[in-house]
């Protein structure tokens, strides 16, 4: 499966969830999810048949994939890793996804969207424990220090994103030093700390068949 290259606004409408994939547009009156609160398609806001249990499970899986910007093979790999670990598989899956470097950069406020964070990481604008890392899927561990590289600290894209951060960050598992453009991944988040509207248990049921 190739990476999705169509309109990302259609993904929000299809999954009936605001995925915040377009940055500023998602917060404006131009947001397609707000203007057209129904699934995309040529027939407009027509009623649809009741979704089966399988359809609901598939819907949640697609929602998580799109939210974190993953392909099917990547997502299955994360699920396999989560299933192999002790504990609740769904919660472990969420922790693995949340501890990706691109997601951590986004959560800290260095980028406006996960897509933008992935691009910044790929272009080597960040250090992890003073080492250059340009792999978006790099797994951050508790205690790791993420910082903007010295030569990248003047980038308007990063400054524009950070101007939107209130205080020293909004997430309990992260610690942010805005003045020095540095953050610390304190610990893996518990499930109740992650407020995205998806049901990972349905994903576990889907892959467990």
Q: Which residues pair with 145 in a beta bridge?
A: 184
Backbone φ/ψ region at 150: left (φ over 0), alpha (ψ -120 to 50), beta = alpha
Residues 171, 42 contacting (CB under 8 angstroms): no
| Residue partners of 89: CB distance under 8 A and separation at least 6 | 79, 82, 83, 204
- Looking at residue 109, its pLDDT comes to 94
Q: How far apart are CA 69 and CA 60, in angstroms?
A: 14
Domain residue extents for the chain: 8-96, 100-185
Fold match, 8-96 / 100-185: no
| HSE-CB for 193 with a 13 A CA cutoff | 14
- Looking at residue 3, its pLDDT comes to 62
Q: If the chain, 209 residues long, is cut into consecutive pieces of 10 residues, what is the mean pLDDT of each piece?
A: 61 64 64 65 62 89 93 96 96 97 96 94 98 97 97 95 82 94 96 92 93
Instruction: Return the CATH fold of 8-96.
Output: Ribosomal Protein S4 Delta 41; Chain A, domain 1 (1.10.1050)
Encoded tokens for 53? 């249990």
- Looking at residue 21, its pLDDT comes to 67
Encoded tokens for 14? 């299809």
| Residue partners of 178: CB distance under 8 A and separation at least 6 | 109, 162, 165, 168
Domain range 100-185, its CATH number among 3.65.10.10, 3.10.290.10, 3.40.1350.10, 3.30.70.20: 3.10.290.10
| Residue given tokens 């978006």 in the structure block | 136
- Looking at residue 1, its pLDDT comes to 39
């Amino acid at each position: 499966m190739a990476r999705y290259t169509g309109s990302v606004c259609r993904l929000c409408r299809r999954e009936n969830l605001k995925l915040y994939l377009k940055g500023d547009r998602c917060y404006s009156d131009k947001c397609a999810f707000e203007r057209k609160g129904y699934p995309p398609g040529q027939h407009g806001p027509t009623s649809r048949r009741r979704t089966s249990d399988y359809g609901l499970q598939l819907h949640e899986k697609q929602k998580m994939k799109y939210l974190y910007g993953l392909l099917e093979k990547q997502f299955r790999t994360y699920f396999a890793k989560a299933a192999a670990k002790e504990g609740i598989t769904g919660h472990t899956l969420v922790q693995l996804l949340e501890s990706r470097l691109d997601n951590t950069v986004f959560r800290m406020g260095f980028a406006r969207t996960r897509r933008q964070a992935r691009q910044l990481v790929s272009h080597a604008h960040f250090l992890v424990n003073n080492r250059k890392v340009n792999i978006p899927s790099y797994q951050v561990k508790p205690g790791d220090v993420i910082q903007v590289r010295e030569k990248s600290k003047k980038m308007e894209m990063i400054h524009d994103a950070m101007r939107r951060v209130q205080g020293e960050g909004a997430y309990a598992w992260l610690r942010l030093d805005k003045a020095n453009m540095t953050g610390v991944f304190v610990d893996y988040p518990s499930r109740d700390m992650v407020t995205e509207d998806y049901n990972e248990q349905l994903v576990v049921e889907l892959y467990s068949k």
